[in-house]
Structure 1
């Protein structure tokens, strides 16, 4: 998200704009869809709660599920959390602000990590009709086709997930991660990263360019987020329903993709494995090494739930978990 924020600041004409306004799509679910969603959530480990405390021997971990985009309702949440979290020995983020700032400084000089630097561009690699549709969608986000054609497909996928209204909203990336960073700085608490940015980009680029293009082509419709999706995600986050965010995205993605359920499930599993399963496994190697301290683990809320989620993995590792106030 911070990487996208830099891109917007460097290349797009940002202007003051009202915050995203939309409808919470949870209210539009049919009774059958609502029942199916509830059943699915009932089978998921730790589907709710943005603040959990995991304890084992002398180690106390405060797991905070975050949302990377700004929401004014986060202010009171941080105020409530501050008395407890300010006593921690360390904060662990996906990537610390200091490391992200250093990366962004380099990226401002050399944007090649997110560009196709040689060979055919997306104009050449995508079917003409699909490229025309994608170009039109990106134009709504202020990205001209000549620029988009040179971007790595994984980066475009991330851009499609940001609704146009958010891309022109000041401080859109002052999400819970940023606010907790401010809290750590205020109380002079050391901060550490759970992953390196170069490792993250390497993971995004682990598939060939042709495979990335094919996936982007199939999922372009499903990846697009608008005001309604943004509002739904933000409301569900404040309601601490992080598993529901992912399951709703899956339901809506299938409808928008035009793919068969089998085709979409294959794409979704690939997405989930790359962005959640693999990263969670890598993070757990570092988290399980924390001993005899109180630490805050602040990561995207989607990383908490399910069998591969951090909460279930900690429980399997012998930690006692208790949901806490948020």
Structure 2
């Protein structure tokens, strides 16, 4: 979906103020208590580290690659190291292939309704003047005028606002690890398959009422100005191959920024994990477990690898032997 957002924002407002992404790793600012909580949480997780794992069962070999969806020059050497091995695979599986993404973008250009509030009150009617002023200012920095933003679904705006404006000025910003592995698959002439469709994701987002989506959007207000830092934090943890820290840091930061009571936040976080990680992982596993007697690359967001419901743990339960490999 991030790839689609880059295309959409460029189309809506191709000329934006130039800004460099110069964020800092927010983990450096954690209190000793927060850092201890982070370490304790990740130490209890299954497979908390490693961006390249090999799962093998009989004659089936799966290379699981944890990805980062946005571009970073550090990815170049990584792909060079992976290329000789991955190019020999029989097939590549992505969350959503580039071809499926392009098809969705073309459909959306004809019919924008999937991301619009098509009837009833707009966002201006559903939040306070103060909250709308902050949100519309943040969207303006990303090339989205207020009159248009008022009719966009809150979950869609949340995704846009999660992307710092500076990313729109990064050359080939959407050429993340997924895109680079797509290039590798194409160069090797390997078939590519999607583990899900964008419509599946939209259905998940739309399962929440408009009012619930607005509440979540408003809670993000204080995080908008720290977008560069959040991106830098995520990238730093990714190249350290500490994918569990990405999610656990987001949980700790989100709890403090939300203003919610700890028990209420815990419920909301659990619902977030269930919908965007657990359910999707379970759905993907149905496809992954049909791969037999071949070598395949499974390239998905790094956050989907670890944890009790992560792909690695589920493959272990299914009888695969797992080993960490060079990244």
When the two structures are superposed, what TM-score results if normalisation uses the length of structure 2? Answer: 0.95
* Residue 179, structure 1, aligned to residue 172, structure 2: no
Structure 1 position 222, deviation (Å): 4.8
Number of aligned residues: 326
- 1:36 Cα deviation from its structure 2 partner: 2.0
Aligned to 2:193: 192
Q: Structure 2: state its 5+ residue gaps.
A: none
Larger deviation: 142-151 or 16-25? 16-25
Per-residue deviation, 1:216: 2.3
- Partners in 1 of 2:254 and 2:298 — Cα distance? 29
Contact 2:46–2:308 (Cα < 8 Å) also in 1: yes
Per-residue Cα deviation, 1:223-247 (whole angstroms, up to 9, x for no partner)? 7652111111111111101110111
Would you say the 8 A contact 2:16–2:143 is kept in 1? no
1:109 corresponding residue in structure 2: 110
**Equivalent in the alignment of 1:41:** 42
Stretch deviating more after TM superposition (190-199 or 13-22): 13-22
Shift of 1:310: 0.5
Residue 166 (structure 1) shift: 1.0
2:60 is equivalent to residue 98 of structure 1: no
TM-aligned CA distance change 1:174 to 1:14, over 3 Å: farther
| Residues 51 and 302 in structure 2, CA contact (< 8 A), matched pair in contact too | yes
- What residue number does 1:311 align with? 312
Residue equivalent to 2:7: 6
Q: Matched residues in 1 for 2:225 and 2:158: separation?
A: 8
Q: For structure 1, which segment, 205-214 or 311-320, has the greater mean C-alpha deviation from structure 2 after superposition?
A: 205-214
Deviations 1:127-158 (A, max 9, x none): 33322222222223232211111111110111
Alignment match, 2:169: 168
Q: Deviations over 1:173-207 (max 9, x none)?
A: 11000000000000000000000111221121112
> How far apart are residue 30 of structure 1 and its match?
2.5
1:163 offset after TM fit, Å? 1.2
Aligned ranges for residues 116-155 of structure 1 at < 5 Å?
Answer: 116-155=117-156
| Secondary structure, aligned partner of 2:175 | coil
Superposed CA offset, 1:50-82 (max 9, x none) = 000001111100000000000000000000000
CA contact (8 A) 1:69 1:174 kept: yes
> Once the 2 structures are TM-superposed, how far is the Cα of residue 18 of structure 1 from its aligned partner?
5.3
Q: How far apart, in 2, do the equivalents of 1:222 and 1:23 lie? A: 14
Preserved CA contact (<8 Å) 1:220 1:257: no
Helix, strand or coil for the counterpart of 1:60? strand
SS of 2:78's equivalent in the other structure is: helix
- For residue 64 of structure 1, what is the aligned residue in structure 2? 65
Distance across 1 between alignment mates of 2:51 and 2:145: 38
Alpha-carbon displacement from aligned partner over 1:270-324 (angstroms, at most 9, x marks no partner) = 2211111111111001001111110000000010111111011111111111000
**Kept in 2: contact 1:160–1:225 (CA 8 A):** no
Moved more, 314-323 or 125-134: 125-134
Contact 2:71 2:172 in 1 (8 A): yes
